[in-house]
Amino acid sequence: MTRVRPMRADARRNYQRLLTAAAEAFAEHGEGASLDDIAKRAGVGSGTLYRHFPTRQALLEAAYVDRIEALAARADALAERLPPGEALAEWLNELGVGTIEVRGLRALLGSAVADSDVAAATVCGTRMREAATRLVEAAQREGTLRPDVEPVEVLRLAHGLSTAAELAHGDGSGMRRYVSLLTEGLRPG
């Protein structure tokens, strides 16, 4: 049995400072923010950053895991109070607006829907796919979503919608219209 040693206090502080610096840098520069800059902002060396987060993807996920959890929980909250088709549309709207407002989330959503076993196994990928699956399957049972639509396809389309809304309006103001066009197109014939 392998025992995991708890982090030392200074390592925990460095970890938290890195997360704070990463969230700030990703908000300013998107997912392409300089990792060296993030380490400098946190007051640590690059080696410390890479010890905690071996890849940019790992740092992005750690910086936004709370947002991902909140978006996944929001799917369940919407499912409790709205009919399935409406819950799916509202969640897609909130997901799209969130990926525009919080730079870096789009990269996580993109990696969550990539054709890769590694991507699907990430925290982001797992939580987003589970939330989408619950909403898609409920809408299909309700008859408001075509039965041949896969949850990952809906997430991929949401990724594209957020890109389209940002290009058209610079913010999430056009998202509801794009979601409406999408969901109407996905209804059974």
Pick the CATH number of 8-54 from 3.40.50.300, 1.10.10.60, 3.40.640.10, 3.40.50.2300: 1.10.10.60
Provide Rg for the chain, Cα atoms. 18
pLDDT in tens, 27-84: 888 888 999 999 999 999 999 999 999 988 889 888 888 888 899 999 999 999 999 9
Residue among 189, 129, 122, 123 at smallest CA distance from 159: 129
Distance of CA 179 to the CA centre of its chain: 17
**Mean pLDDT of all residues in 2-22:** 80
Indicate the domain borders of the chain: 8-54, 63-185
The answer to whether the CB of 169 falls within 8 A of the CB of 71 is no
Q: How far apart are CA 52 and CA 61, in angstroms?
A: 12
pLDDT of residue 85: 96
Q: Fill in the DSSP letter of residue 172.
A: S
pLDDT tier, 120 (very low <50, low <70, confident <90, very high otherwise): very low
Q: Is the entire prediction scored with pTM above 0.85? A: no
Tokens encoding 97: 């607006």
Q: How far apart are CA 2 and CA 149, in angstroms?
A: 43
Whether the per-residue pLDDT at 4 is higher than 70: the answer is no
**Mean pLDDT of all residues in 145-174:** 87
Residue among 152, 136, 149 at smallest CA distance from 185: 149
pLDDT of residue 64: 84
pLDDT of residue 5: 62
User: Which CATH class for the 63-185 domain?
Assistant: mainly alpha
pLDDT of residue 10: 80
